[in-house]
Amino acid sequence: MDTLGLATTVKQTQSLIMADRKKKIKAIGERKRAIVKVAASAPRRRSRRVAGEEAETTTGEQGDRYMSEPQYTEETYSSDHVRSLGRSQEPWELFVDGYDAKGNRIYDKATGLTCHQCRQKTLGKRTSCSQCESLQGVFCGDCLYMRYGENLDEVACNPSWVCPPCRDLCNCSFHRSKRGWCPTGTLYRKSIAEGYASVAHYLVLTQLDGAEAVETAKKLGWWTQDQAH
Ligand SMILES: [Zn+2]
Ligand SMILES: [Zn+2]
Ligand SMILES: [Zn+2]
């Protein structure tokens, strides 16, 4: 009986130990989960505080609000952008091609091609890009001249012409907002008044990134005393 009693005690002790272990394991598990929780939340708090502006692009609780917002990049232009600026031999006559006698644009939903810049489906000539060969390279003559300083009739004679989006020069509202830049609005008059050939020339030449880009602008004859600001 004694032996049996001892055996019972041992069994009881063992089960007590097991229960205790289970409790400990559970406690450790809870602690671990708690640590994981802290670890997961800590970097988020840190990044918001330290990263400042960039924190707006993070996802998660706070970030969700900004998810549809574009990534902010500073608007500057390199030598490559300067070299990509177009030039016209002759001026393009504005508000004629695709306009009626009264000066209104002639819309043509059936056969008109949508201009990438003004998004209008009107009659009139259009560009086509030798690189993307897509709708992205379709510009009307007025947009091409006012926004990029190029003459559509001259461009049409150049089989290797490449569109502004393919040259990383597009200043349409879609491409600008993709980079987090606000739309320019009608900047043409201001650009011309300040001595620039187009809106693209104004944007690029007033926001050159470094001495090399300035040198390139000078070499290509885009840099005048008036533009040195
Ligand atoms: Zn247009
Ligand atoms: Zn293109
Ligand atoms: Zn564009």
**Ranges of each domain in the chain:** 79-219
Q: Is residue 229 predicted with pLDDT exceeding 60?
A: no
Q: Is residue 166 predicted with pLDDT exceeding 90?
A: yes
Does the pTM exceed 0.85?
A: no
The number of beta carbons lying within 10 Å of the beta carbon of residue 75 is: 15
Which tens digit of pLDDT belongs to each residue from 88-135? 999 999 999 999 999 999 999 898 899 999 999 999 999 999 999 999
| Confidence at residue 156, expressed as pLDDT on a 0 to 100 scale | 97
| Confidence at residue 16, expressed as pLDDT on a 0 to 100 scale | 56
Here the tokens at position 192 are 């011309």
Q: Which ligand is nearest to the CA of 175?
A: 3
Q: What does the pLDDT average to over 72-101?
A: 95
2 vs 193, higher pLDDT:
193
Q: Is 149 left (phi over 0), alpha (psi -120 to 50) or beta?
A: left
| Confidence at residue 42, expressed as pLDDT on a 0 to 100 scale | 38
Cα of 77 from ligand 1 centre, angstroms: 24
Cα of 160 from ligand 2 centre, angstroms: 11
Q: What separation in angstroms does the CA of 1 have from each of 4, 6, 9, 192?
A: 5, 8, 12, 112
- Quickly state the pLDDT bin for 53 (edges 50, 70, 90): very low
Cα of 87 from ligand 3 centre, angstroms: 19
Q: Which ligand is nearest to the CA of 120?
A: 1
